[in-house]
Chains A and B, each alone.
Chain A
Amino acid sequence: MVLNGVVMVLMFCGLVFFTGGGIGILRFPDFYTRLHPAGKLDTLGSLLMMTSVAIFNLHEITLSNALTSLKIMLIVVFVFISSPTATHAIMDAGVRAGLRPWEKGMPRG
């Protein structure tokens, strides 16, 4: 029963970060500021959701379940490596294309 509780708590925390990131992408005034929640959304949200699924998967400890949970953790590691790199690449594209960052008082870019 405790296992389900842990899964639920982790799942809701993951949803909190996904919601925060989703709203942050919409509300922030500029391209560079929107990139900030986008990077956070991928890594932390998927970490929490994936660990909750992995823990839920470990109900009966068999080798195949353990391997599947390990593979889920592999996805988390890959997302942790790839998401910041992708965000950096997008930011690099914006900078090279000459997009000026937003200052206070400028209209929403």
Chain B
Amino acid sequence: MHSLFLYVGLYLCFLMVLSLYRGVAGPTVVDRLIGVNAIGSKTVVLLVLIGLLYDRIDMFVDIALAYAMLNFIAVLGASRYFQKRKGLYEEPPYK
């Protein structure tokens, strides 16, 4: 069973690289927010899986909970910051 969790964790890392592409190449800055939010939520699940692999599940559950909260606050802060038009368009705004 442990190898199953290892391969699932590796597959999650591969999915993270996919959403990292959206984070890097996202045309607008709010697209990058989507990529970062997706990576953050995958990290929470990955942390619990790693806890399972190391057989110290209760320690890693707390870390995963703290990371989930941190990810939530970071996304809220970033979205509140990017409301103005600053840095949203490379070309002139859509009209």
Contact = CB atoms under 8 A, between A and B. Distances in A.
B40 to A, nearest CB: 9
Contact of A99 (B11, B64, B65, B88): B88
A26 B15 contact: no
Interface residues of A, number: 51
Contact of B34 (A25, A72, A99): A25
Interface string B62-95: 1011001101100110011011110010000110
Contacts of A34: 22, 31, 34
A87 to B, nearest CB: 7
B47 to A, nearest CB: 9
Interface of B: 1, 4, 8, 11-12, 15, 18-19, 21-22, 27-28, 30-31, 33-35, 37-38, 41-42, 44-45, 48-49, 52, 57-58, 61-62, 64-65, 68-69, 71-72, 75-76, 79-80, 82-85, 88, 93-94
Interface in A52-109: 53, 56-57, 64, 67-68, 71-72, 74-75, 78-79, 82-83, 85-87, 89-90, 92-94, 96-100, 109
B61 to A, nearest CB: 5
Contacts of B49: 49, 53
Interface of A: 4, 7-8, 11, 14-15, 18-19, 21-23, 25-26, 31, 34-35, 38, 41-42, 45-46, 49-50, 53, 56-57, 64, 67-68, 71-72, 74-75, 78-79, 82-83, 85-87, 89-90, 92-94, 96-100, 109
